[in-house]
């Protein structure tokens, strides 16, 4: 039980970084995928995580490898 707080604070996705690297905003992404801007904001702040399907869809929209969205994945 003590680990649940720690897990919640982990930065699992890099969505915010990937958006910045591509010159895009959370608002823009929300419009592209038909999601609420607040949901995308929570993804970017790692308060909640998008599904794997959503990460793949976002990667296609941004024309990047889906692994770029996940911390700890090196694809160089």
Q: What is the mean pLDDT of residues 40-61?
A: 93
Alpha helices in the chain (DSSP H): 3-9, 15-21, 26-33, 37-44, 52-62
Q: Assess whether pLDDT exceeds 80 at residue 74.
A: no
State the pLDDT at residue 12: 85
Q: What is the mean pLDDT of residues 32-57?
A: 94
Q: Taking the model in full, what pTM does it have?
A: 0.76
- List beta partners, residue 13: 70
State the pLDDT at residue 11: 81
User: Which one has a higher pLDDT value, 72 or 22?
Assistant: 22
CB-based contacts of 46, cutoff 8 Å, min separation 6: 10, 11, 12, 13
Q: Assess whether pLDDT exceeds 90 at residue 72.
A: no
């Amino acid at each position: 039980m003590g680990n649940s707080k720690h897990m919640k604070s982990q930065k699992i996705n890099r969505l915010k970084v990937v958006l910045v690297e591509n010159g895009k905003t959370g608002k823009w992404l929300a419009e592209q995928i038909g999601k609420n801007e607040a949901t995308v904001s929570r993804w970017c702040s790692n308060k909640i995580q998008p599904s794997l399907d959503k990460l793949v869809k976002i990667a296609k929209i941004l024309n990047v490898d889906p692994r770029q969205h996940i911390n700890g994945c090196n694809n160089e």
